[in-house]
Amino acid sequence: MQIKLAKNYGFCFGVKRAIKIAENAPGASTIGPLIHNNEEILRLKNNFNVHTLLDISEIENIKKAIIRTHGITKENLSDLKKRNIDIVDATCPFVTKPQKICEQMSKEGYNIVIFGDKNHPEVKGVKSYCVHDNVHVALDYSELEKVDLGQKTALVSQTTRKIDEFLKIVDFLAANCKEVRVFNTICNATFENQDAAKELAKEADIFIVIGGKNSSNTKQLYNIAKEFCKDSYLIENEKELNFSWFTGKQICGITAGASTPDWIIKKIIEKIREIKV
């Protein structure tokens, strides 16, 4: 069986930056998971004594706090600054961009539409920077059909969403609002990884997506792979591999989410190479 890696996969700029920041802050605690990869978070804990807090309510007796790549709400950041805590900001610059846009556009009187998952920490953080309550979070344009969007609307996106779904919302807003400001805040690494996964999935007869099951961008990669290769699987580590998946397969495609380190990818590839098909 031939094993092929997607042309683009794995760690993005923001995650690499956050990991380096955490490694240089031994003994610190992150407000929420630094990234959406349990294996890498465990490595940081074991090797650098970096602990993960569920949320800001657990901040008592902490000397150094790391803000996760997804960012935190404006209110939580303000609360942190009032405490005698050393704050290390590992928020991805691609996440701070929609935060600033929402703050500025809402100050200028625009209603805000955020394309994303309302329960995702990144989206919660971005939404908190709006200065008024005319903010609507949606994963599909149909969720906006009964919403009063007003005359002026600004649109941003969660950084890890799919571009084709974003464009559907753009079209809907253009048809229903007199003035629309569109800010494409989807990360370039997301584009590249998704395109590469799509191309390889068309060729493969089994496809392995490596990454955290709670990672938005990894789940997007899995959904894309599944669309073009029915035998697609999402795993976090080599222990989740099932050798029966590979029976009779000729080409195994592999990609990895933006929070997946190379050491996990290598271990999984080594395990797949042991499979006799």
Q: Taking the model in full, what pTM does it have?
A: 0.86
What digits encode the pLDDT tens for the residues 225-250? 999 999 999 999 999 999 999 999 99
- Across the range 165-194, mean pLDDT stands at 94
Active-site choice (58, 103, 108, 122): 122
Domains, the chain, in order of start with CATH, read 2-9+188-273 (3.40.1010.20), 13-91 (3.40.50.11270), 94-182 (3.40.1010.20)
What digits encode the pLDDT tens for the residues 37-85? 999 999 999 999 999 998 888 888 889 999 999 999 999 999 999 988 9
pLDDT surpasses 80 at 276: no
CA nearest 255: which of 239, 276, 68, 229?
Answer: 229
Which regions of 93-246 does DSSP assign to beta strands (E)?
A: 111-115, 135-138, 152-157, 179-182, 206-210, 232-235
Task: At 152, give phi and psi (nearest 5°).
Answer: -125, 120
Q: Give the number of residues written for the chain.
A: 277
Binned at pLDDT 50, 70 and 90, residue 112 comes out as very high
Binned at pLDDT 50, 70 and 90, residue 150 comes out as confident
pLDDT surpasses 80 at 277: no
Whether residue 122 lies in the annotated active site: yes
Binned at pLDDT 50, 70 and 90, residue 97 comes out as very high
Rounded Cα gap, residues 270 and 277, in angstroms: 15
pLDDT surpasses 90 at 26: yes
In the prediction, which pLDDT does 275 show?
A: 84
Binned at pLDDT 50, 70 and 90, residue 11 comes out as confident
Average pLDDT, the chain: 94
Helix (H, G, I), strand (E, B) or coil at 49: coil
